[in-house]
C-alpha cells in the first residue's frame, strides 16, 4: 500500500522540528548569560510563554504519530523551563514520529480531537492534518520564532526556512 502522504507529513514535521532545534541553538549561543529567562518570555500577557510554545509545537506531530499508532492524544508537559527540557521534547517527538508505519489509508480514518468542557471535533485524517495539526504547528513554531526576535536574537527568515537549505543551488 502507498504511504507517500504519510511520509510527506512525517518529513514536514521532522524538518520543522529540526528548525525548532536550530532556534534552541540560537538561544544557547545568544542568551548565554540568561538562557533560563527566555523560557518565560511571551509576546503578550495573555499568550503562553516560550517554553510552553515549544511543548505545543511538539504536541502536533506527537499527537499525529499517536493517532497513526492507534493511541489517544497525549500532550507533553507544558512546563518547559530549560534547554534540556526543550530538547527532550523535540527528541522524543522525533523518535515517536519516526516510528509511524501506516499507509495513506490512515488519512481516511476519523480523528477525534477532545477540546475543553466536554467538546470535541471529529475530522477525517486529511482534515485533521490540514485543518487542525498544521495550523497549530505553524502557529506555535512561529510564536517561538517571534519571541526570539522580540528578545533580540539575531535570526531572520532563513532561520525559519531551514528546511529549504538542502535545495539551494549555486
Spatial distance between the Cα atoms of 23 and 29, rounded to a whole number of angstroms: 10
pLDDT band at 166, cuts 50/70/90?
A: confident
**Buried/exposed 117-152: b ≥16 CB within 10 Å, e otherwise:** eeeeeebebeebbeebbbeebeebbebbbebbeeee
- In the predicted model, what is the mean pLDDT of residues 26-54? 95
- In the predicted model, what is the mean pLDDT of residues 131-148? 98
Which of 99, 151, 107 has its CA nearest to residue 131? Answer: 107
Is the pTM above the cut of 0.85? yes
Asked if 50 and 147 touch (Cβ cutoff 8 Å), the reply is yes
112 grid coordinates: 477525534
Among 24-28, 66-70, 106-110, 162-166, whose mean pLDDT is lowest? 162-166
Spatial distance between the Cα atoms of 129 and 137, rounded to a whole number of angstroms: 10
pLDDT band at 33, cuts 50/70/90?
A: confident
Spatial distance between the Cα atoms of 134 and 123, rounded to a whole number of angstroms: 14
Q: What pLDDT shows up at residue 54?
A: 98
165 grid coordinates: 537549505
Question: Has residue 11 got a pLDDT over 80?
Answer: yes
- In the predicted model, what is the mean pLDDT of residues 142-168? 94
Amino acid at each position: 500500500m502507498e504511504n507517500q502522504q504519510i511520509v510527506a507529513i512525517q518529513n514536514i514535521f521532522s524538518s520543522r522540528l529540526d528548525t525548532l532545534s536550530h532556534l534552541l541553538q540560537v538561544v544557547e549561543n545568544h542568551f548565554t548569560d540568561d538562557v533560563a529567562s527566555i523560557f518565560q518570555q511571551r509576546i503578550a500577557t495573555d499568550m503562553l510563554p516560550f517554553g510552553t510554545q515549544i511543548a505545543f509545537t511538539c504536541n502536533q506531530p506527537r499527537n499525529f504519530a499517536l493517532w497513526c499508532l492507534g493511541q489517544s492524544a497525549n500532550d507533553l508537559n507544558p512546563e518547559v523551563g530549560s534547554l534540556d527540557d526543550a530538547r527532550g521534547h523535540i527528541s522524543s517527538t522525533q523518535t515517536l514520529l519516526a516510528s509511524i508505519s501506516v499507509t495513506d489509508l490512515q488519512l481516511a480514518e476519523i480523528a477525534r480531537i477532545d477540546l475543553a468542557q466536554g467538546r470535541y471535533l471529529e475530522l477525517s485524517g486529511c482534515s485533521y492534518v490540514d485543518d487542525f495539526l498544521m495550523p497549530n504547528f505553524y502557529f506555535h513554531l512561529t510564536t517561538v520564532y517571534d519571541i526570539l526576535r522580540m528578545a533580540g536574537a539575531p535570526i531572520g527568515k532563513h532561520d525559519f526556512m531551514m528546511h529549504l537549505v538542502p535545495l539551494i543551488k549555486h
